[in-house]
Amino acid sequence: MSIIEKMTKIINEGDTSAGEQLIHDDYQFLMHASGKKLSKQNVLKWLGMKDVKKEKVRVLFENDEVGFEHSFVSFNDGNKEAVMTYYKFKDGKVVYQETGATKLPK
């Protein structure tokens, strides 16, 4: 299973323990919509809330250094987005992630 596939499974299951293992300690997550940067601890807390489900995930490219995916994401509040994600890997873990999202009708 690729790193992106593992990350998708962790997100969909809200598995903070697996997230702790796959997310690098130096991790940063840049959210383009808000400009916010999240740390590993921020993302693990968010994972535990089980707020999001990813569907129709397509891994567009992945190697040992970077990965790109496109997916459709739905949130517990009913919001939906089409999301493009860039991942950077270090030591077999996700060290950096940024997303660009387009809101979709509920």
Average pLDDT value for the chain? 96
Domains present along the chain, CATH in parentheses: 3-104 (3.10.450.50)
Question: Are the CB atoms for 91 and 59 separated by under 8 Å?
Answer: no
Query: Model-level pTM greater than 0.75?
Result: yes
Tell me the pLDDT band of 106, cut-offs 50, 70 and 90.
confident
Tell me the pLDDT band of 34, cut-offs 50, 70 and 90.
confident
pLDDT in tens, 38-63: 999 999 999 999 999 999 999 999 99
Q: DSSP string covering 51-77, please?
A: -EEEEEEEEEEE-SSEEEEEEEEEETT
